[in-house]
Structure 1
């Protein structure tokens, strides 16, 4: 199976052929995959070099001319390093675009902490008007990318090497999708966390909701999910900073007695970089770690 990043390259190359409104801005990352597209559309495929602030600024400048920019690099260089440009050049100027990241929280541990970005979604939460997609499969990444490219708003698509075994329905109006039904609590699995959550909750009387779009947060879907439960106990399992969506869940359930547990990447820096699976286990996001923490919370 191809990766989400492979699918992004293939899909974006095709979209550039089909839609003269689209432009692609790169900062060296993934450039080799866009060689053909760069030759075919030299005026709409721009590589700015290792200049991430310019990357975002150039994309916003293209948006001001009426183009629909797709801006791409690693998450740490797309959201964290040029955050001021994301805030001002897109948000303050009121223009739209599609930010597509690679690397996720720790997809390439050998790259070190500079290439890790567990705080990207939390950082975007400080800004208004961003839609955030966290696909869990290459097919989902393609569908969400096509939808984002066809729109006009500000969209962040967070790609990862980690992937679920199969794709789920995604896109406008989908909201949270019930993958498993139960009455003893609700577990929200975000993007590539779904397979581990399903393994961790096997045999537990819980509802498992799947979320590939986390902003806007589907508060109505969460309220529906807890309506038939013995208690409004909710666990959110996210592939980025733990607790990123707990405030949104608390707001959605403000009129109900409830408990919310946010599971995700911890704040402590793991300096022995290892492999991606080792990071999952260290943060308790493998099936075993999730089973222990979800079970302890729901049966407290």
Structure 2
């Protein structure tokens, strides 16, 4: 299977051939994947070097000129380092573009904390109007990227991951949670690449599982439908980034229903021993065994 980043480069390179409004802005990272596209479209594949604030500022300038910019680098540099430029050069200027990140939480553990950004979705959530996609498979990434590029002047963030689910799910650019399975003992919302681990964790449990490849806008209607009919709602959110990022959104969706929400994800404390992705998942309590313990501890009716 190709990776999400492989699919990103191939998909957007193909779109450059057919959409004269499209431009790609890079900051050294990912340049090799666009080598052929850069030869074919030297004026619309731009590498600014290791200058991330300039990366986002260039994207904002292209948007002001009527282009549809796709801006790419690691999440720690794209969202955290250049956050002010995102806030001003897109938000304040009223422009749109597609931000595409990689290595969000711990996709490259050997890179250390400088190359990790578990808070990226939460940080962008402080800004108005950003659609945020978290695909769990390269096929989903391609579908969401195509929709994002063609979404007029919308502001879209696509979070690519090295962790993937075995089987892709049908996704739509306008969001919407999918019902993976139904049960009576509570609801578990699995975001993007967390789905396989969640399904393994809840095997044999009487719970509903919802799948989210788009987290903003948050599909409150689907969550309300999943808990309908009960006198209370117990919900577990399993996200591949900062724990609790979507807890407020879930609480807002269920404000008319007595409910409890448990947000599972990457803890705030830094893991300073860098191993494999699987070891980081276990260290964060996001492997199937740990998830089962945490889910069953919170959902008494799941057994």
TM-score (norm 2): 0.98
Question: Which residue pairs with 1:25 in the alignment?
Answer: 25
Q: How does 1:249-264 map to 2 (within 5 A)?
A: 249-264=250-265
Distance (whole Å) between structure 2 residues aligned to residue 174 and residue 114 of structure 1? 31
Unaligned 5+ segments in structure 1 are none
CA shift, 1:230, in A, is 5.9
1:84-105 deviation digits (Å, cap 9, x = unpaired): 0000000000000000001120
- 1:273 equivalenced with 2:303 (yes/no): no
Distance (whole Å) between structure 1 residues aligned to residue 94 and residue 116 of structure 2? 29
Moved over 6 A (4+): none
Distance (whole Å) between structure 2 residues aligned to residue 230 and residue 277 of structure 1? 38
Partner SS state of residue 160, structure 1: coil
The answer (yes or no) to whether the contact 2:175–2:217 under 8 Å persists in 1 is no
CA shift, 1:229, in A, is 4.1
Query: Cα 1:173–1:55, aligned 2, differ >3 Å: closer, same or farther?
Result: closer
Partner SS state of residue 272, structure 1: coil
Distance (whole Å) between structure 1 residues aligned to residue 43 and residue 15 of structure 2? 15
- 1:93 equivalenced with 2:89 (yes/no): no
Question: Which residue pairs with 1:134 in the alignment?
Answer: 134
The 10-residue stretch of structure 1 (164-173 or 57-66) with the greater mean CA deviation from structure 2? 164-173
Question: Which residue pairs with 2:68 in the alignment?
Answer: 68
Distance (whole Å) between structure 2 residues aligned to residue 263 and residue 89 of structure 1? 33
Distance (whole Å) between structure 1 residues aligned to residue 274 and residue 77 of structure 2? 19
Question: Which residue pairs with 1:112 in the alignment?
Answer: 112
Distance (whole Å) between structure 2 residues aligned to residue 255 and residue 172 of structure 1? 28
Q: RMSD in angstroms over aligned alpha carbons?
A: 0.9
The answer (yes or no) to whether the contact 1:185–1:229 under 8 Å persists in 2 is no
Question: Which residue pairs with 2:38 in the alignment?
Answer: 38
Unaligned 5+ segments in structure 2 are none
The answer (yes or no) to whether the contact 2:175–2:215 under 8 Å persists in 1 is no
Q: How does 1:206-217 map to 2 (within 5 A)?
A: 206-217=207-218
CA shift, 1:178, in A, is 0.3
Question: Which residue pairs with 1:242 in the alignment?
Answer: 243
TM-score (norm 1): 0.99
